[in-house]
Chains A and B, each alone.
Chain A
Amino acid sequence: MKTVFSESPLLQAEGIEKRFGRVHACNDVSLDLYPGEVLGIVGESGSGKTTLLNILSGRIEPEAGVVEYAVREGGMRDVHQMGAAERRMLMRTDWAFVHQNPRDGLRMNVSAGGNVGERLMAVGARHYGQIRDTAVDWLQKVEMEAGRIDDLPRTFSGGMQQRLQIARNLVTRPRLAFMDEPTGGLDVSVQARLLDLLRGLVGDLGLAAIVVTHDLAVARHLSHRLAVMRRGEVVETGLTDQVLDDPQHPYTQLLVSSILKA
């Protein structure tokens, strides 16, 4: 994995607040992410991880706080102050969003090739042959047979669907990926393969990623740094192996000690 990081962050969040009724989903959360870096956000269900991911990616508005992103043209832009058009442009070019359930991230009634090609067409690709070649290339990158390019996602296994979702997202070579439990719901054997694939892609593309997971093994293998969330607060951050091997906060210790060692 890449270990040299530039001086300036790609994404920076400051004082994020979000409540749902009486539940404090994000309580004064601040974090930063550097180009090429993978940040894991761990914590149990209901700890606010997914809410935070949705706020960071501009999908929901925080009640307070600022999320800034370093746009390609240079300079930091407030993600929530951008126009809808600009944010959508980011969403289909510079950003990727990988959902836990591939059905949320795929068009189930469109072929694998159409799914992968959609972002290309959205940014103006108008040559069928080239779109198809790129789709084949990406199917192979995610270890799918090129021969399945015209098949519908519903004919694929869960692991294949997840790989297709990843290909569909990475085809425009984004700089930042948001991943919500990318290996959740997959068989253990399939998880390992996907993890390995993700790690390779992140390294090859120089992709920065924020990976929300409750699986500490996923966090260990994918992320450079970890943020541990509990009840809407980030209780501990640091180098991934340090947080997992020498956790400081009581909650992190509980989380780590609750994992069965294989």
Chain B
Amino acid sequence: MDLQILLLLGQDGITNGAIYALLALALVLVFTVTRVIFIPQGEFVAYGALTLASLQAGKVPGTVWLLLALGTTVAVLDGVRLVREGRFAKLTPLLILNIGLPLLAAAGLFAMPPTQLPLWAQVVVSMLLVVPLGPMIYRVAYQPLAGASVLVLLIVSVAIHVALIGLGLLFFGAEGSRTPSFTDLSFELAGAPLQGQTILVVVASASLIIGLYFFFERTIYGKALRATAMNRTGARLMGIPPTLAGKLCLTLAAAIGAFSGILIAPITTIYYDSGFLIGLKGFVGAIIGGLASYPVAALGAVLVGLLESYSSFYASAFKEVIVFTLIIPVLLWRSLTSTHIEEEEE
């Protein structure tokens, strides 16, 4: 292998690694705050990419139906409770937020398919369609089980993943999509071509990570999330409701997922079920970080990206085998170094 290929593969690895790092961060965030192992993280990647692709193809993305269905479910669940407690004032914002806005979105998409919109506007519309699914899923699936064990929450996560895969097939079909590049710029680095899109992915991921850092370090809501992760009882006593923390987390996770999907859609063909493997590679990174450390998780994810890239060159058929087998030495290392005291959970 010459230097050129080495660089080319490294470029690929870092691009994918940057995406896995974003996902790994989201997974660590959701787990530490809510104890949910968020398997459906990857589906948000696919939904983000495919929603954008649908918009560009002049179709109404099926995501809007899911948004309506989930929104209505949330409105019914919360509405019944508000009525029972006589808090009628809160009913209107609830209905507007969960049913009104999705309806508006659906009407808007039918009235004027956004094929003519500039790319950035299409990206914004895609995000607006996908991101609210995060908090809605929290409300419908996880919130009623807030006290359940990590194991039960994990099974719920897997169930949501499975349902979203099926819905993805229904919404976007079995065909894969690839969106046009955000930029056609190209450079040359030591004889190897360097795509503008690659730079864009790395820069965007890095900015997002820096943005997240400031959110957690500088804003009171970010601090509230960290506080919930550190001490649930303490956070409740400060008036930080676990449900607020949960919805906030899943909003972030959904946003990170959808944004990642939009970033890689021009590089890889995304199918309705591609998200799972992408999300799991983020997971391998997150597990390297022990589902606790953000920087180690991000580094681990970049490592996964590089490993994947180089193994696809040497043994392309065994790429996935190699990446997912990596988790075994990682777990072995973790289990030998961690002094885990079995916590009792019911």
A-B interaction: no
Q: Which positions in A face B, CB cutoff 8 Å?
A: none
Q: Which positions in B face A, CB cutoff 8 Å?
A: none
